[in-house]
Structure 1
C-alpha cells in the first residue's frame, strides 16, 4: 500500500469507515436467542417464563444497521466544527469495541453519548494520543448513574464530600455510616428513583465503582482548603441531607457526626473526561 493509501480521507469518509464497522462486528445471537426447543420442553413453565422475560432484552439490542446510522449521525455532529485535516480514521482497537458495545448499551443515552464522544476523540489528530483503548471498557462498566456522577465530578475536578459517622454510647470507636456524599450527588441519586438510606448508599457505591475504574481518588483523610470548597462544605453540611443526622440527637444509643472528605480526578480520569465529554 502506498503512502497515499494510508492517509485518511475526508471527514465523511472517516466517519463512514467507523460506522461501517457495525457490519463487521458480529452480534453474538446465541446469548439472546429463545431457549432451544429441547431445553424448553425440559424446563416447561420455567423456560417459558424466562423466555418471556428475555423478550424485552432482545428488543433492546441495536442492529448493525441501526448502529451504523446512529454512529454516522452522532459522530458527524460532534465533529462538525473540526477542520477536515484534523480528522483521521480511528484506531480499530477503540472503534471496534465501541461498535460492539453500542449494540448492547446504546439504549442508555448517558452511556451511548460517551461512546460517541470517545469515538469522535479517537478520530481527532490532536486528541487521539490521549484516547486510550481501555476507556471503552471503563464506559462499558458504568451504569447510567455512574456516568452522571462522573460527569459531575469531572466538571468539579476536586469535589468536597461529607462522611456521616456514628458512635455508640457504650462501645468505643466511631464507624462510617455513609461516605463521600454531597447534596448534589444525593440529589442525582434521588432523581434516579433511590429512596431513604439507599440514596446515600447509591452515591457511595458509585464513588467506589469509579475508584475501581481508576478515574478518581476518594480521600477520607484529605479536606479541601480552597475558599470555594470550604463554602461548599458549609453549604452541604447545613442542607437537610446532613443536618438531620447531627440534629436528631441520640438514636438507639448512637450519636452522629460529620467528617469532611474529598474526591479528586486521577490523571487517567482527566484524560478520560476530555475524551468522553464533548
Structure 2
C-alpha cells in the first residue's frame, strides 16, 4: 500500500525533475542557492505537511504532473530552482479547490512558475497564494485589466442612496456585472485596489437624486506586485 511519505516523495520527485539534477542534489544546499530555492528534502516535507489524504493524492497525481509541467515549461533550464515550501504548499493547496483553465488556476500556475524561476523568485511574496485563493475569477480579470489602465465610474452622492455606485466602466471580460460593487469592496479590503474620488466640483454631474461624483479605481503597489509575480515567464 502506498504510504503518505511515498506519495510525497513521488510528487516532490515530479517537481524535482523540472530543475537540473546537479542543482537539485548539489548546488541547492549552498547558502547562495538556499536564498532563492529549496532542497529536495524541503519539498518532500512540504508536501507531507500540506496533509493531503493519500487517496486524493493518488487521484490528483496526474493533475499535479500536468500543472507542474505547464509551470516550468517557459523557464529556461539554467534558471530553474526548486520552489520554497512557503510557496509550494499554499499553491498546491490552492489548486486543490480550483478547476483547470480558469483565471485563478492561471494565476496559481504563473505564480508557481515565478517561484521556480531564479530571475523572478524575488518578485514572489509568501502572502500571494492566500491572496489568489481569496479572489473570484471576475476579480482576477479586473486586476489583470487594472495593470494596464484604471477603471472609472460615477458615485451617486445622495441621502436616498448612500454609498451607491451609479455606473462603473468594467472590462468586457467580467461575467457578473451586477456584482461590481462587491468586487471592488472586496479587492479594497485585500489592499489590491484603491478608489480615488474627484475633488473637482466642476466634474460632478447632476442626477435627480443627488450628485454623481466621478471616481477612478487604481491597482495598488501590492496588487501590481502580485500581478507581476503572476505574469508568464519568458
Q: CA deviation at 1:72?
A: 2.4
Question: Following the alignment from structure 2 to structure 1, what is the Cα–Cα distance between the partners of residues 58 and 213?
Answer: 46
Check if 1:74 corresponds to 2:51: no
**Cα RMSD between the aligned structures?**
3.8
CA pair 262-112 structure 1, distance change in 2 beyond 3 A = same
Question: Following the alignment from structure 1 to structure 2, what is the Cα–Cα distance between the partners of residues 267 and 130?
Answer: 12
Partner of 1:203: 180
Question: Following the alignment from structure 2 to structure 1, what is the Cα–Cα distance between the partners of residues 43 and 158?
Answer: 57
Check if 1:119 corresponds to 2:115: no
Query: Contact conserved, 2:155 with 2:215, CA < 8 A, in 1?
Result: no
Q: Write 1 or 2 for the structure with the bigger share of helix.
A: 1
Partner of 2:164: 177
Q: Between Structure 1 and Structure 2, how many residues are aligned?
A: 197
Which moves more between the two structures, 69-78 or 111-120? Answer: 69-78
Secondary structure at 2:110 match in 1: helix
Partner of 1:148: 141
Q: CA deviation at 1:64?
A: 3.0
Partner of 2:217: 263
CA pair 5-152 structure 1, distance change in 2 beyond 3 A = closer
Select 2:86's aligned residue among 69, 78, 93: 93
Question: Following the alignment from structure 2 to structure 1, what is the Cα–Cα distance between the partners of residues 27 and 164?
Answer: 62
CA pair 91-5 structure 1, distance change in 2 beyond 3 A = closer
TM-score, scaled to structure 2: 0.68
Q: Which runs of 5+ in 1 are unaligned?
A: 9-13, 30-57, 224-232, 238-245
Query: Contact conserved, 1:19 with 1:67, CA < 8 A, in 2?
Result: no
Give the alignment of 1:18-29 within 5 angstroms: 24=48, 25-27=50-52
Check if 1:274 corresponds to 2:228: yes
